[in-house]
Amino acid sequence: MNTKTPRVLSIAGTDPTGGAGIQADLKSIAANGGYGMAVVTALVAQNTRGVRSVHTPPAEFLREQLDSVSDDVAIDAVKIGMLGDPEVIATVGDWLRATRPPIVVIDPVMVATSGDRLLSCEAEEALREILPLAGLVTPNVPELAVLSGRSEATMWDDVVAQSLEVSRRWGVRVLAKGGHLPGDVVCDALVEADAFDSVRPLESPRIATRATHGTGCSLSSAVATWQTATGDWFTSIDRSRQWLTESLRHGEELEVGQGHGPVSHFAGLWQRGGLITSASAEWWARIAELREATDRDPFLTGLADGSLDKARFAAYLAQDVHYLEGYASVLSRLAQMAREPVERAFWTTAALACLTTETALHRTWLTEPRPAKSPVTERYLDHLRSAVDQGYEHGVAAVLPCYWMYADIGARLDPAGNPYADWITMYADPVFHESAAAARRITDRAAGAATPVVRESMWRAFERSAQLEREFFAQ
């Protein structure tokens, strides 16, 4: 698999509402991991309800645009959308023959979702003639009928038959799209006419939505982008369809226009952390209820107003010494696992502070014989150890709630006249707060570099620790 960022050129018309054409292509290319470039074939005054007019710049200017890109940039893939008229098709055809981009996907745009024509009737033959220059053609049902010269298919079998005809006649792979056929399942297929007439279907649930403007544009751009990375058409189509299904699902949330709105190209990215600058801030917000419940715990309210029974406080500290010893071991393991020297130093110092500063106060309260570890203490330490067993990212997420919740409590309790002032002051100390902030920064860095799957399980580790923190106070 090629891991370089694919440089993908869209040659297409415009949509000022951003849902189709060049605007959709650029979003789709970016959403699928590519660097998008664009050459405009036609300026289209359109919105989600329909097309008002089309302005086609001179063919010489189109060629100037194309050459400006290819004279300077190594193009990994080209997606071709609306071409409009025979002159535009001839210009793009000549440029393709001259530059021979390694990957070419042609979406044979003819009619918009609104029913308006985007390709003149006399251009249909010219469009057929450039099909052999493509690695893949992506017609919808009506476009397939025009390309094959048949009447519009109403059954999937006819779609496949027409795709085979087009593939055989023009020597090109066809992605047959069944979006226009009825049914709960949307069927597409990668069709290649050869000795075996290969037909590889792809199915997905039909999303009940009006936001389908630009699905064809977005899909073909995504496939061109993925093809650069995977080198396998079926895999590229499969990944693009998965992305499109999610984007279709969230399209209506954008509330763009009164007709057929656009898909939400970046919905997946936004959901999985693309805009989150601090994962830990979001996790902290998500445990707000749990934190409020912890604040209401009689142990903490008693600590806050000084009414807490001394024996209960001593019992808590006895468990906390057990906890801090185990916690320090986990921090030491993080120190060994950290790749950055500053993080290694931080966890080493943190482990040391646990075993010295924090437990020093605790020991003044301890009585012999020391009580054994409670089930909650055991459970909490087991969780931390198993988190760190899963890896550094999980480990840092799991140890964070202890830092953060204690710093938060320490900042809010008033030590004046409180019999537990020493304890409160320890967690109100700016040095402790700086450590909590450093632990957050490390977690955010790890979460930012993690895959969505790892980030999700980091959150689970964080949430479980926060729950155990609450149980620890309540025990």
Ligand X SMILES: Cc1ncc(COP(=O)(O)O)c(N)n1
CB of 62 to ligand X, least distance (A): 14
Candidates 6, 36, 108, 214; binder of ligand X (CB under 6 A) is: 214
Q: Which residue is nearest to ligand X (CB)?
A: 21
CB of 289 to ligand X, least distance (A): 43
* Token pair for 420: 């537990």
CB of 245 to ligand ATP, least distance (A): 6
User: Which string of b and e fits 308-326 if b means at least 16 CB within 10 Å?
Assistant: beeeebebbbbbbbbbbeb
* Token pair for 88: 């535009």
Select from ligand ATP, ligand X, none the partner in contact with residue 394, using the beta carbon and a kind-dependent cut-off of 5 to 8 Å. Answer: none
Question: Which of the 8 DSSP states describes residue 217?
Answer: H
Provide the 10 A C-beta neighbour count for residue 368.
Answer: 4
Question: Which of the 8 DSSP states describes residue 358?
Answer: I
Candidates 34, 81, 178, 401; binder of ligand X (CB under 6 A) is: 81
Please say if 251 is a catalytic residue.
no
* Token pair for 473: 């106070």
Catalytic residue among 214, 251, 273, 395: 214
Please say if 217 is a catalytic residue.
yes
Contact indicator for 259, 49 with CB cutoff of 8 Å:
yes
* Token pair for 447: 């979460």
The interface region with ligand X, picked from 6-14, 307-315, 396-404, 463-471 by CB under 6 A, is 6-14
Residue from 177, 168, 173 nearest 142 by CA: 177
Using rule CB under 6 A, residue 217 touches ligand X: yes
Angle at 77 between CA 72 and CA 78, to 5 degrees: 90
Residues 194-213 that bind ligand X (CB under 6 A): 213
Please give the Cα distance from 138 to 177 (Å, whole number). Answer: 7
Select from ligand X, ligand ATP, none the partner in contact with residue 15, using the beta carbon and a kind-dependent cut-off of 5 to 8 Å. Answer: ligand X
Using rule CB under 6 A, residue 77 touches ligand X: no
Catalytic residue among 48, 138, 215, 294: 215
Select from ligand ATP, ligand X, none the partner in contact with residue 251, using the beta carbon and a kind-dependent cut-off of 5 to 8 Å. Answer: none
Residues 43-72 that bind ligand X (CB under 6 A): 44, 46
Residue ranges with strand state E in 168-255? 173-177, 185-192, 198-205
Select from ligand ATP, ligand X, none the partner in contact with residue 179, using the beta carbon and a kind-dependent cut-off of 5 to 8 Å. Answer: ligand ATP
Residues 94-123 that bind ligand X (CB under 6 A): 109, 112-113, 118
Instruction: Report cis status (omega within 30 of 0) of the bond before 58.
Output: no
Please say if 354 is a catalytic residue.
no
Using rule CB under 6 A, residue 424 touches ligand X: no
Select from ligand X, ligand ATP, none the partner in contact with residue 21, using the beta carbon and a kind-dependent cut-off of 5 to 8 Å. Answer: ligand X
Parallel/antiparallel/unpaired status of strands 173-177 and 136-137: parallel
Catalytic residue among 18, 34, 56, 177: 177
CB of 191 to ligand X, least distance (A): 21
* Orientation angle between helical segments 421-428 and 430-449, nearest 10 degrees: 50
CA 104 from chain centre, in angstroms, equals 26
Select from ligand X, ligand ATP, none the partner in contact with residue 248, using the beta carbon and a kind-dependent cut-off of 5 to 8 Å. Answer: ligand ATP
Catalytic residue among 212, 294, 359, 377: 212
Question: Which of the 8 DSSP states describes residue 370?
Answer: P
Residues of this chain that bind ligand ATP (CB under 6 A) = 113, 140, 177-180, 186, 188, 204, 206-207, 209, 212, 214-217, 219, 241, 244-245, 248
Contact indicator for 217, 21 with CB cutoff of 8 Å:
yes
CB of 84 to ligand X, least distance (A): 9
Please say if 216 is a catalytic residue.
yes
Using rule CB under 6 A, residue 166 touches ligand X: no
What is the amino acid identity at position 295?
A: D
Radius of gyration (C-alpha) of the chain in whole angstroms: 31
106 vs 354, beta carbon nearer ligand X: 106
148 vs 221, beta carbon nearer ligand X: 221
25 vs 320, beta carbon nearer ligand ATP: 25
Please say if 177 is a catalytic residue.
yes
Please say if 373 is a catalytic residue.
no
Backbone φ/ψ region at 231: left (φ over 0), alpha (ψ -120 to 50), beta: left
The interface region with ligand X, picked from 14-22, 28-36, 353-361, 448-456 by CB under 6 A, is 14-22
Using rule CB under 6 A, residue 261 touches ligand X: no
Helix (H) or strand (E) holding 139: none
The interface region with ligand X, picked from 8-16, 202-210, 327-335, 415-423 by CB under 6 A, is 8-16
One DSSP character per residue, 2-42 reads --SPPEEEEEE---TTSSSHHHHHHHHHHHTT-EEEEEES-
Residue from 176, 116, 182, 186 nearest 147 by CA: 176
Catalytic residue among 21, 34, 81, 217: 217
Cα-flanking dihedrals φ and ψ of residue 35, to 5°? -100, 115
Residues that bind ligand X (CB under 6 A): 12-15, 20-21, 44, 46, 81-82, 109, 112-113, 118, 213-214, 216-217
Residues designated catalytic: 177, 212, 214-217
